[in-house]
Structure 1
Amino acid sequence: MLALSMLLPVCGAAAEEVRIKDIVDVEGVRSNQLIGYGLVVGLNQTGDRLNNALFTRESLISMLERLGVNVRAQQAQLQTRDIAAVMVTADLPAFAHGGSRIDVTVSATGDATDLSGGTLLVTPLMAANGDVYAVAQGSVVSSAFSAKGAAASVTRNIPTSARIANGAIVEREVPVDLRERPLLHLSLRNPDLTTGRRVALTINRDLGSPVAEVEDPRTISLNLSGRDVIETLARIEDLMVVPDTEAMVVVDEASGTIVMGDNVRISTVAIAQGNLTVQVTEAPLVSQPAPFGNGQTAVVPRTNVKVSTDAGHKLGILPSGPTLRDLVSGMNALGVGPRDMISILQTIKAAGALQANMVVR
């Protein structure tokens, strides 16, 4: 019942005021994804097998040729396992300037088993347009590890993926000039007309003129002509507003997690929950003939099937329009666990009694 009681603290959270900057994004101000291909060296026999990862072999030969070392004629003798081919990814944040540093993620592409302790060599990071915006290099540090012996192995987390803090230097900027854009759009992270209207009213009330207008459930337009755009945006970001939320239930069947908003309501419904258990076991019998007899040993299959039901659960009735607290209390009274509650909520939704949107992941 612990997982159900953990839902209680969210009650009433939707009525709290939040800053506008925490629920909106300024259109055009965003990060950009970067990607690159590189090599990690210095591994302790945990890198790629060059006979299997041909791209690693070719990358190593090409890199050595650029450094003035020609081993292409003797490439068959390259048997090292101290190198691994990796994909390097990063997010270039908005307003990042040349010379600033960003974090990068390094992921193995071959059959390397552990990247810990290696060093990423100079790797250009490109955007979707093919231009290089950053260059990555640095030591690969990971809390994951992998160890194995002749008959057993132990692996913690993912040793073939690691992160290099401040591992890339920004070489090229993405120009964003807000001062030259008096017409801006604010984008709600959770689209909602009610929230958008409250944001627009709060902005207009604070600035004393109708500069904000709701265009759709996600977009709020701002006309800041004749104003200092930067100063006005900073002022708008700190304004407080009460966001509205859609009645929603989100369940994760894999982990048994259930998250419900405070405005979830359920019509009058009766709930009966029982568990049916079917246990099938195989217990074959061996028929052994007498010594010196002419019979043959035979295996006779035997299957045992046991069906049991849990009659401990009761029929419960939830009154019309219960709040989240009432719903959780009612489920606890019926002795319902989180995974059973997922099934119950899906059935209530199918019956048309759950007045909320349900998202199953």
Structure 2
Amino acid sequence: MVNKVLVHLLCFIFVLSFEASANTKGSVRLKDLARLASVKDSALVGYGIVTGLAGTGDSTRNSATLQSVHNMLLRFGLNVPTDQVRSRNAAAVMVTATLPAYSQSGDKLDVNVTSIGDARSLVGGTLLLTPMAMSDRDIYAMAQGPLSVGGFSYDLNGNVVQKNHPTAAHIPDGATVDRSVNTAIVNGDGKVVYKLHRPDFETASRIVDSLSRVIGAGNAKALDAARIEIRVPGNKPTELVSFLTQIERIEVVPDSHLMVVVNERTGTVVSGAEVVISPVTVAHGNLNVAISTEYQVSQPFGVGNVIIDSDFAGVRTEVVPKTSINVEEQQTVSVSLPQGSKVSDLVTALNKVHASSRDIITILQGIKRAGALHAELIIQ
């Protein structure tokens, strides 16, 4: 009796676990579908000087580099006229970085350094202290350090050996944040707004339904296809982190977008499992026309062992073209697809008739124009 009860109990647990897994199949956390609208990364940019180059820096034709070196030396009490700067061991560069949200003073940032002059290589260079600012020109970080260049370039007597791009470099942790980023999560109405990575009305509606079951009806609403507004409970103003953690764990089944992605360079076709094709017949055939031309030289005739002079009676050497045309038509192959066929079925059928990747892409475009492909066709 106990064994029977145990068996029934195990079966009941198995059914419950199976139903739970079926219900959560394809579900995605809210944090993977959307982000806080007020939280974003910022771009930083700066202008600096790289020194220590082995004669591969900017030439004297770059007035900006000469002026920059002159201004740098002035800071150290050296007044060297611009026309006296002759060193090719320096180069003018642009420095870029990304400032993440919630960055605090003292955080480290990776920076990218690119040459803007005619420097041949930045290998062995060091970036001097460079202020980095946002679009509002406020300085948020300072960059400095030795460059890491993933390439090289050497030339001698007109011969050049180069690998990758020696005029672009990287400095890991090369910038230090001087100014903290203040990010306001809750707006003046006591609400937070999440923005969907891929706007969709159906997905937004499902998110609101899931949130209403957890935090109560009326506390979440969809402003449009991309934004979800959530009211922060009044009794939890100091527990914002816990509240956001709770709602970001909510799982939602997003509405899928039917699309077929085709890479024309590699011939790769990627489609969703639900992409279907209406009944369609594809007739595929090739007509190859090859035209070749050979040029033959016609020499003037001679008498015995003596060749008639080219000035004699207008006789001269002529180049005579000989053209041949070859037409080859392959037998047309037809492929028929029944109702409910998938893109994978079409590609498999075309591969069986030895259709090339370019032919498959062309056929997919034709099926899309005919209205038989019920998905968005993206060609990369």
Question: Is the TM value for this pair above 0.5?
Answer: yes
2:283 to 249, 265, 272: 272
Q: Deviation at 1:278?
A: 4.2
CA contact (8 A) 2:296 2:322 kept: yes
CA contact (8 A) 2:36 2:185 kept: no
Unaligned runs of 5+ in 1: 1-13
Partner of 2:370: 351
Q: Does 1:296 align with 2:316?
A: yes
Q: Deviations over 1:174-215 (max 9, x none)?
A: 211336663111111011122222222222223344422122
Q: Does 1:146 align with 2:153?
A: yes
Q: Deviation at 1:309?
A: 4.2
Identity of aligned residues (%): 39
SS in 1 for 2:49: strand
Partner of 1:327: 346
1:20 to 13, 23, 30: 30
Unaligned runs of 5+ in 2: 1-23
CA contact (8 A) 1:178 1:230 kept: no
Cα distance change of structure 1 residues 280 and 241 upon mapping to structure 2, 3 Å threshold: same
Residues 100-249 of structure 1 correspond to what in structure 2 (within 5 A)?
Answer: 100-150=107-157, 152-178=159-185, 182-226=190-234, 227=236, 228-249=239-260
Residues 304-315 of structure 1 correspond to what in structure 2 (within 5 A)?
Answer: 304-311=324-331, 314-315=333-334
Q: Deviations over 1:207-237 (max 9, x none)?
A: 3444221221111111113133221111122
SS in 2 for 1:236: helix
Q: Deviation at 1:115?
A: 2.0
Q: Deviation at 1:256?
A: 3.8
Amino acid at match of 2:372: A
Q: Deviation at 1:332?
A: 2.6
Amino acid at match of 1:353: A
Amino acid at match of 2:207: V
> How many pairs align?
344
CA contact (8 A) 1:331 1:341 kept: yes
**In the aligned structure 2, how far is the partner of 1:323 from the partner of 1:354?**
9
Partner of 1:59: 68
Amino acid at match of 1:17: S
**In the aligned structure 2, how far is the partner of 1:196 from the partner of 1:21?**
13
Partner of 1:44: 54
Amino acid at match of 1:30: K
Amino acid at match of 1:219: R
SS in 2 for 1:112: coil
Q: Deviation at 1:168?
A: 0.8
Q: Greater CA deviation, 331-340 or 108-117?
A: 331-340
CA contact (8 A) 1:179 1:230 kept: no
Greater Rg over alpha carbons, structure: 2
Cα distance change of structure 1 residues 127 and 307 upon mapping to structure 2, 3 Å threshold: farther
Q: Greater CA deviation, 84-93 or 171-180?
A: 171-180
Q: Which has the higher contact order (CA 8 A, sep 6+)?
A: 1
Cα distance change of structure 1 residues 180 and 70 upon mapping to structure 2, 3 Å threshold: same
Partner of 1:337: 356
SS in 2 for 1:355: coil
SS in 1 for 2:341: coil
Amino acid at match of 1:288: Q
Q: Deviations over 1:118-145 (max 9, x none)?
A: 1111111111111111111111112223
Partner of 1:3: none
Q: Deviation at 1:170?
A: 0.8
Q: TM-score, normalised by structure 1?
A: 0.86
Q: TM-score, normalised by structure 2?
A: 0.82
Q: Deviation at 1:154?
A: 4.1
Cα distance change of structure 1 residues 15 and 190 upon mapping to structure 2, 3 Å threshold: farther
